């Protein structure tokens, strides 16, 4: 980990409604600003690209409107890897910063018709270090997103410190948090759609519990950020101006808020990370070290990929075909050459029985 203090940034903005390209352009403008201010790590909100499907909490699921909104969402979703990840990686390399970005990810490894709530981790060399798919979408979110698996739970060992990320209410999952602690995280990203007093109290508790810095980045979404053409806008109360007030914040390892919360506004929060604050206080509390009791409590994490299809190659000796999964292709056949017949030998007379 870096021995010198450094700056991190939490970006709080609204997306351009269900428009991936324009939202990427907006995010990159804020990235430029944060990098110019000296930030080494820039964190963006949960599913900023191309936006959070807030309609799941208001639109009845049997309405045709759900089909329309989901179709637009998946059309503007992110493929990994793809053009969007290429642009983000190029920007990280150009500015020399780490980026953590929330996206709606299309399941290109299978049907291409489902989505995951995903965090991307990009390093200053412009490399996609990895992704994390949200393990459990919350409530109505399950109408939009599938469940991730343990293969994307990860802590990244970087020059500025070990870095992790959980999405929104995943941070309420004690075992998921503990896995991050046990793998040594020091910089924890909590990209979210949640806000308010209880959420901020949780961020403070998690920072203290894990003895780490927590960077919570949320969207700030005003009623005017949703176009009138969006069919779900009518479901919001007429006097509700802020759909999401934001409340992004950065919390120190002592549980105290050191930047924010940023309320009902777009902007960038900055905080200085002091590596010394991450080490000294652990003599008192280290929940994945001397304050643990592995002889009493044990945690198992299953980190294998849960593939929809496992392919096996087999041969059909009767049909002369080879199959992989359910696709069968016939092998080219070659006419067999007639075998040369050997000259017959005269048979010996059998001895007569007496």
Q: How many CB atoms lie within 10 A of CB 254?
A: 12
Residue tagged active-site, from 105, 141, 168, 170? 168
46 counts as catalytic: yes
Q: What is the DSSP pairing of strand 187-191 with strand 161-167? A: parallel
Residue 346 is given by DSSP the state P
Residue tagged active-site, from 26, 95, 134, 208? 134
- Distance between CA atoms of 11 and 19, rounded to whole angstroms? 18
- Cβ–Cβ < 8 Å for 86, 32: no
Q: What is the DSSP pairing of strand 187-191 with strand 213-216? A: parallel
The set of residues, in sequence order, having a beta carbon less than 8 Å from that of 128 and lying 6+ positions away, is 80, 81, 85, 89, 120, 121, 122
134 counts as catalytic: yes
The set of residues, in sequence order, having a beta carbon less than 8 Å from that of 120 and lying 6+ positions away, is 80, 85, 88, 99, 100, 101, 102, 103, 128, 131
Collapse the DSSP code of 102 into the 3-class scheme (helix H, G, I; strand E, B; otherwise coil) and give the result.
strand
| Residue 80 main-chain phi, psi, to 5 deg | -125, 115
| Residue 297 main-chain phi, psi, to 5 deg | -120, 135
| Strands of 313-316's sheet in order across | 313-316, 321-324, 327-330
State the sign of the Cα–Cα–Cα–Cα dihedral 276, 277, 278, 284.
positive
- Distance between CA atoms of 79 and 107, rounded to whole angstroms? 8
- Helical H runs in 222-333? none
User: Catalytic site residues?
Assistant: 46, 134, 168
């Amino acid at each position: 980990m870096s021995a010198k203090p450094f700056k991190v940034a939490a970006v709080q903005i609204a997306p351009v409604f269900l428009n991936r390209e324009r939202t990427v352009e907006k995010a990159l403008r804020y990235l430029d600003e944060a990098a110019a201010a000296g930030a080494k790590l820039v964190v963006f909100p949960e599913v900023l690209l191309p936006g959070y499907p807030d309609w799941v909490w208001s639109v009845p699921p049997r309405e045709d409107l759900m089909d329309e909104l989901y179709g637009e969402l998946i059309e503007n979703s992110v493929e990994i890897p793809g053009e969007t990840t290429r642009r983000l990686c190029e920007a990280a390399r150009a500015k020399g910063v780490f980026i953590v970005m929330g996206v709606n990810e299309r399941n290109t490894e299978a049907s291409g018709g489902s989505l995951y709530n995903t965090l991307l981790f990009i390093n200053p060399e412009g490399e996609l270090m990895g992704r994390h798919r949200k393990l459990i979408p919350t409530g109505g979110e399950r109408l939009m997103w599938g469940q991730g698996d343990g293969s994307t739970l990860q802590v990244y060992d970087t020059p500025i410190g070990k870095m992790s990320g959980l999405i929104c209410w995943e941070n309420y999952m004690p075992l998921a948090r503990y896995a991050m602690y046990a793998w040594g995280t020091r910089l924890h990203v909590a990209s979210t759609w949640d806000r308010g007093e209880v959420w901020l109290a949780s961020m403070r508790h998690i920072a203290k519990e894990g003895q780490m810095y927590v960077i919570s980045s949320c969207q700030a979404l005003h009623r005017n950020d949703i176009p009138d053409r969006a069919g779900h806008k009518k479901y919001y109360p007429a006097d509700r101006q802020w759909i999401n007030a934001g409340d992004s914040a950065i919390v120190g390892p002592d549980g105290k808020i050191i930047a924010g919360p940023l309320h009902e506004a777009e902007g960038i929060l900055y905080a200085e990370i002091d590596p010394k604050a991450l080490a000294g206080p652990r003599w008192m509390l280290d929940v994945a070290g001397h304050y643990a009791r592995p002889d009493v409590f044990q945690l198992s994490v299953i980190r294998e990929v849960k593939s929809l299809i496992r392919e096996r190659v087999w041969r059909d000796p009767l049909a002369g075909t080879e199959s992989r999964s359910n696709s069968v292709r016939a092998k080219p056949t070659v006419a067999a050459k007639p075998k040369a017949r050997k000259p017959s030998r005269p048979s010996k007379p059998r001895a007569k029985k007496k």
